[in-house]
Amino acid sequence: MFRVADGEKVVDEIATYQQSRYLSAMEAAWRLLAYPVHDHAPTVEQLPVHLGGEDQPLRFAAGDRLDEVVQRGVDTKLTSFFKLCAEDDLAATLLYHQVLRYFTWQQPTRSWRRRRRGAPHPEAAGIFVAQAIGRVFSVSPRAGEAFFLRVLLHQVPGPRSYADLRTVDGRLCATFQEACSALGLLEDGQHWHRAMAEAAVIAFPRQLRRLFAAALWMAQETADGHRRLKVVLHQDGGALDGPGDGRWPSKT
């Protein structure tokens, strides 16, 4: 049954859906037999990013043992990935977000284990590959070192520790930002240019101005980047179109 909603009345979308829904005999039987009603592929799993030794937010439910809750902050997916890279030759060739293709996370032992099902690896016997996607949590540039840690995790394969990520050509850098600079990841603020080029397609002008302010705060933006962003900063707040709408000017 469908009804015309009063223009002055707040529409309850959930109630409207329930009142308008038609449940057929086939769907009723399907649900009574507990058959799956939806699915999604490929599998997407979130991967945390955190600095070593810092206080981390821990999720727990009433009744959880305190020692088990604390252990969750010790053996995270990231720290266990470091251990895995030190022990497994295959893992030593992977970036952090690629680990889910060949390994699964074991919650009881809080460790990574090689996949036992999936498509056989075309070149290595006994290795299975799954179409799984690892999504590393986004980190604001205002987070400082955590932001640069995330940059390194997307560029350095097989890190064995935080110190390993900060080591460039045998030299241990003092910070993750210094390591990014030594690897050329921050040269001329190119990471900001890439971020702003992407934001120009999906974000509104107010969000772009905040991003640009963050770039200035991090002291990474250049005069050329300011010139290229000037056109975007002066937009009137309308919806952004596609990448070819000319809102992100080229260097030339």
Say yes or no to pLDDT of 19 above 60: yes
Q: Average per-residue pLDDT in the chain?
A: 79
**Structure confidence at residue 10 as a pLDDT band (50, 70, 90):** confident
Phi-psi region of 248 (alpha: psi -120 to 50; beta: other; left: phi over 0): beta
* Residue scoring higher pLDDT (129 or 201): 129
Q: Where are the domains of the chain?
A: 40-185, 187-233
pLDDT in tens, 21-67: 788 899 889 989 999 888 888 888 899 898 876 556 666 778 777 77
Residue 222 contacts residue 189 (beta carbons within 8 Å): yes
C-beta atoms surrounding 165 within 10 Å = 22
The pLDDT > 70 percentage for the chain reads 75
With 0-12 CB in 10 A as exposed, 13-18 as middle and 19+ as buried, what is 194? exposed
**What does the pLDDT read at residue 159?**
95
